Structure 1
Amino acid sequence: MSSNPAPYSDFWSGALFGFMAGVVAIIFIASLVAVKFFQRNDIYDVDHWKLNVKVPFTTTWMNMGYW
């Protein structure tokens, strides 16, 4: 009787493990970057300029000395 080889050889099981480890590592690193990016450090961030908008905008002309 001849023994049937395993459906997955050592190479393919290692390749599958490496692929899955890579996917998990990418997801982990992406989540760390997202948490750091969306984490608020200062309560008065640059987004608060929107609260102080004057409408209509006042025009300011710069005198460049051409006239």
Structure 2
Amino acid sequence: MFSTNVGNLDRTIRIVLGALLVLGALLGYGLWMWIGVIPLITGLMKTCPIYSLLGMSTCPRKQG
């Protein structure tokens, strides 16, 4: 499947932002806030399909 391409800082931001958006949706602030599911899932899985398509990664490079 997809390889890990989301670094620690990127992952933390995705999880926090996604959780806040989903919480907002659950509290009734708008259906659009369910978009938070996407960064939440990509953060938890440590992979972003769009990064894969673009050949990007925020993970630190392995030396050696």
When normalised by structure 1's length, the TM-score is 0.34
Higher Rg of the two aligned structures: 1
Structure 1 or 2: larger helix share? 2
When normalised by structure 2's length, the TM-score is 0.35
